[in-house]
Structure 1
Amino acid sequence: MSGRYKYFAIFGSMRSGSNLLEQSLNQYADITCHGELFNPLFIGHPKSTDFLGLDFVERERSPESLIKAMIKDAEGGIAGFRVFHDHDQRTAQMALRDPKCAKIILQRDVLQSFISLAIARKTDQWLLHDAPDRRGGKIVFDPLEFIEYRAKQEAHYEDIRNILQKGGQTAFWVRYPEQRDVAILNGIAKFLGRDEVLKTNKETIRRQNPGSLTDKVENYDEMQAALSRWSEDDIIPQGSFDPLRRANIPKMVSCISQPILFAPVPGGPNEEILRWMNALDVGTALGANCSHAVSNGDILHTGHNQRTLFEWMEANPDIATLTAISHPLTRAYQAFMTKIFLTGDGTYAVIREQLIDYFGVALPDLEMMDGATRQSLGDDGYGVGQHRAAFHGFLRFLKVNLSGQTSIRKDGLWDSQMAFLSGFNTAVPISIIVKEGQMDAGFKYIESILDLPAPILGPPIKPDHMFALDEVYSRQTENLARKAYKMDYGRFGFNDYQAALEA
Structure 2
Amino acid sequence: MSRFRSFILLAEMRTGSNLLEANLNMLDGISCHGEAFNPSFVGYPKIDEVLGIDRDAREKDPHALLQKIKDSDDLGGFRFFHDHDPRVLDTCIDDPYCAKVILTRNPLDSFVSWKIAQATGQWKLTNATHSKSMAITFDPKAFEAHLEAIQSFQTSIQRALQLSGQTAFHINYDDLRDVDVLNGLAQFLSVDARLSNVNKKLKKQNPEPLNQKVKNYDQMTDALARIDPFDLSRTPHFEPKRGPAIPTYIAAPTTGLMYMPLRSGPDRAVRQWLAAVDGAPTDALLEKFSQKSLRQWQERQQPHRSFAVLRHPLARAHAAFCDRILLDGPRRLPEIRANLIRVHKLKIPDDAPALDDPAIYSDQDHKQAMLGFLTFLKMNLAGQTSIRVDPSWASQLTLLQGMAQFAVPDLVLREENLREDLHHLAQQMNLPNTPALGHTAHKWQGRLAAIYDQTLEDAARAAYARDYAVFGFGNWA
- Return the TM-score normalized by structure 1: 0.47
- Return the TM-score normalized by structure 2: 0.49
Decide which structure has the larger Cα Rg and report it.
2
